[in-house]
Amino acid sequence: MPLKIKSKKDLIPQFSQSSGKLIAVLDDEPDILELVSLHLRKAGFKVKEFETSKSFLKFIEEKTPHLIILDLMLPDADGLEICKSLKKDEKFSSVPVLLLTAKSEEIDKIIGLELGADDYVTKPFSTRELVARVKALIRREQNSVKNNKVKVGGILELDLQKYETYIIGEKIELTLTEFKILKLLCERKGWVYARDQILEYLGSTDKGVMDRTIDVHIKNLREKLGPAGSFIKNIRGIGYKLEE
């Protein structure tokens, strides 16, 4: 049976939702930039290349990319500091950052992730893996924006748009600070956050009352969350994490 084409639209290739997304790549090695850009463009992405942090920072003042690939070893700046600054800036805090680095030590990966990076690839790397990780981060961000909800353990749900919290479908009242702490823990389940990291996330700089402040908020959160309160775990001498 011959193939029937209903309209000219049927002849137009259908690309994935990630096609056309702008990826900013910052790396001081021209060969790496060319390799990464080539394969990202083949995957349907738009790519903007930068060899210096100065040119990169100037560009993002005017345009926000959908994802940033960031090399840690730069001649004119510290990649970790750039990552930290991006994640502290409300304009870029939700933009996924993938670290691309020659460093293989575990501590460098941990520091990068703790500063807010969403993933990392160590040089030398597989271009197929890199593209796959970029697609996964883009897809995760799209789903996050689309749903604007975080669900944990089948009983806890956060509506990030309305700042509302539900336990088994029933709305509970949290203070803004309590909601922010819960949001932080829920978005990276299993990650351990030190008390000073939580304070920094909240925008507080009063280190003198650090332990008491965070511990009180956590105590109140656990009580209000009821059966979901047990999801918040205390890591002795460090801080807190959330596990289902």
Q: Are residues 196 and 138 in the same domain?
A: no
In a domain, 16, yes or no: no
In a domain, 49, yes or no: yes
- Report the CATH number that the domain containing residue 81 is assigned in CATH: 3.40.50.2300
pLDDT of residue 197: 86
The stretches of the chain forming alpha helices (DSSP H) are 30-42, 53-60, 79-88, 106-114, 127-147, 176-187, 195-202, 210-225
Q: Are residues 103 and 188 in the same domain?
A: no
In a domain, 15, yes or no: no
In a domain, 5, yes or no: no
Per-residue CA distances from 25 to 53, 189, 229, 235 (Å): 10, 28, 41, 36
How far from the centroid of its chain's Cα atoms is residue 23's Cα?
A: 15
Structural domain including 52 reads 22-146
Q: Are residues 238 and 127 in the same domain?
A: no
Q: Is the dihedral of CA 184, 188, 194, 200 positive or negative?
A: negative
Q: Are residues 137 and 47 in the same domain?
A: yes
Q: Confirm if 188 and 198 have CB atoms less than 8 A apart.
A: no
- Report the CATH number that the domain containing residue 152 is assigned in CATH: 1.10.10.10
Residue 242 has pLDDT above 80, yes or no: yes
- Rounded average pLDDT over 28-34: 92
> What confidence tier does 167 reach under pLDDT thresholds 50, 70, 90?
very high
Q: Are residues 114 and 165 in the same domain?
A: no
Q: Are residues 62 and 121 in the same domain?
A: yes
Q: Are residues 108 and 155 in the same domain?
A: no
pLDDT of residue 112: 82
- Rounded average pLDDT over 187-201: 85
Q: Are residues 142 and 152 in the same domain?
A: no
> What confidence tier does 5 reach under pLDDT thresholds 50, 70, 90?
very low
- Rounded average pLDDT over 107-125: 84
> What confidence tier does 143 reach under pLDDT thresholds 50, 70, 90?
low
In a domain, 10, yes or no: no
Token pair recorded at residue 48: 């903007």
Q: Choose the final residue of a domain: 96, 130, 146.
A: 146
Q: Residue 26: which of 107, 129, 81, 99 has the closest Cα? A: 99
Residue 6 has pLDDT above 70, yes or no: no
Task: Look at the block and give the residue holding tokens 């096609």.
Answer: 19
Q: Are residues 52 and 103 in the same domain?
A: yes
pLDDT of residue 128: 93
Q: Are residues 61 and 117 in the same domain?
A: yes
Q: Are residues 159 and 196 in the same domain?
A: yes
pLDDT of residue 139: 84
CA pair distance 166, 96, nearest whole angstrom: 27
Q: Confirm if 60 and 23 have CB atoms less than 8 A apart.
A: no
> What confidence tier does 72 reach under pLDDT thresholds 50, 70, 90?
confident
Q: Choose the final residue of a domain: 146, 175, 202.
A: 146
In a domain, 190, yes or no: yes
Q: Choose the final residue of a domain: 117, 146, 175.
A: 146
> What confidence tier does 234 reach under pLDDT thresholds 50, 70, 90?
very high
- Comparison of pLDDT for 240 and 201, the residue scoring more: 240
In a domain, 111, yes or no: yes
Residue 132 has pLDDT above 50, yes or no: yes
Residue 9 has pLDDT above 50, yes or no: no
Residue 111 has pLDDT above 90, yes or no: no
Give the pLDDT confidence of 196-224 residue by residue, as tens digits: 888 888 876 544 445 678 899 999 999 99
- Rounded average pLDDT over 171-183: 92
Per-residue CA distances from 122 to 23, 49, 119, 160, 203 (Å): 18, 19, 10, 33, 32
What burial letters (b/e) apply to 183-203, b meaning 16+ CB within 10 Å? bbbbeeeebebbbebbbebbe
Residue 191 has pLDDT above 80, yes or no: yes
In a domain, 1, yes or no: no
Q: Are residues 142 and 155 in the same domain?
A: no
DSSP 78: B
Helix, strand and coil in the chain, % to nearest 5: 45, 20, 35
Tally of domains within the chain: 2
- Rounded average pLDDT over 138-162: 79
Model confidence pTM above 0.75: no
Task: Look at the block and give the residue holding tokens 């460093």.
Answer: 103
